[in-house]
């Protein structure tokens, strides 16, 4: 079966077509969620000729099940919990705090690596397009939106190539606009809708951000 997207770059180029109206907004900032979201965002930024940066968010995995999110933490220490998971698994506050502290250390490490000394961009008063390679539970995207709202952009646009229909509805209640061309059912997993969904490396993320920073100089 041929999947809708060849890879993340292909998805970014196709998603950029849905965001064409932002080509003529000089102050637009495109933010990619690491790691895969930065690849998609890089294609959007270069196509629309906008500024690109990364917005760092880390999923908080549950004990023994690291892929199951009990919440997420974003730049600035903003924490969002998946209360249903926390209550169902009876996860203690101590465990949450310990996991959040560990992930914050990793978040800060990645910020230094990805930005390579470049300052974080101004967000206040600007329209922001926040990008990921897809949304399943949406935990990462939701905490990113909450963290961005504190910085008072003029508009928050969420752009993802594919997502769970129920999650996209939840995100629409939080953001000013959601662009998600595909909400297949059953959804299963983001990677199901890509022919190539190889893991993105730190070096790839840093390289894309460096390339786009040089392009906008």
Q: Is residue 161 exposed (0-12), middle (13-18) or buried (19+ Cβ within 10 Å)?
A: buried
Give the single-character DSSP code of 91. -
Q: How far is CA 159 from CA 5, 60, 212, in A?
A: 15, 22, 19
CA–CA distance, 99 with 182 (Å, rounded to integer): 33
Q: Summarize pLDDT for 92-119 with one digit per residue, the tens.
A: 999 999 999 999 999 999 999 999 989 9
Tell which wins on pLDDT, 58 or 13.
13
Residue with the two structure tokens 């101590």: 94
Q: Please provide the average confidence, as pLDDT, over all residues in the chain.
A: 92
pLDDT of 1 above 70:
no
CA–CA distance, 40 with 91 (Å, rounded to integer): 34
Q: Summarize pLDDT for 165-183 with one digit per residue, the tens.
A: 999 999 999 999 999 999 9
Output the pLDDT for position 195: 94
Domain 59-113 has CATH 3.80.10: no
Domain boundaries, given as residue ranges, for the chain: 8-57+121-215, 59-113
Thinking of the domain 8-57+121-215, which architecture would CATH place it in?
A: 3-Layer(aba) Sandwich (3.40)
Q: Summarize pLDDT for 31-48 with one digit per residue, the tens.
A: 999 999 999 999 999 999
Output the pLDDT for position 55: 96
């Amino acid at each position: 079966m041929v999947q809708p997207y060849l890879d993340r770059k292909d998805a970014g180029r196709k998603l950029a077509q849905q965001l064409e109206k932002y080509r003529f907004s000089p102050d637009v900032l495109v933010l990619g969620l690491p790691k895969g979201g930065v690849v998609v965002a890089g294609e959007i930024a270069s196509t629309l000729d906008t500024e690109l940066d990364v917005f760092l968010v880390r999923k908080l995995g549950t004990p023994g099940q690291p892929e199951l999110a009990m919440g997420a933490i974003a730049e600035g220490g903003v924490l969002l919990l998946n209360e249903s998971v926390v209550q169902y698994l009876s996860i203690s506050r101590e465990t949450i705090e310990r996991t959040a502290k560990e992930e914050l250390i990793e978040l800060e490490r990645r910020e230094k690596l990805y930005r390579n000394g470049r300052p974080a961009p101004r967000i206040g008063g600007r329209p922001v397009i926040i990008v990921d390679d897809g949304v399943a539970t949406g935990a990462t995207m939701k905490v990113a939106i909450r963290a961005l709202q504190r910085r008072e952009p003029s508009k928050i646009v969420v752009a993802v190539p594919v997502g769970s229909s129920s999650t996209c509805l939840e995100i629409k209640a939080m953001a000013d606009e959601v662009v998600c061309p595909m909400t297949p059912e059953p959804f299963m997993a983001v990677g199901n809708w890509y022919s190539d969904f190889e893991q993105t490396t730190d070096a790839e993320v840093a390289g894309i951000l460096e390339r786009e920073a040089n392009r906008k100089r």
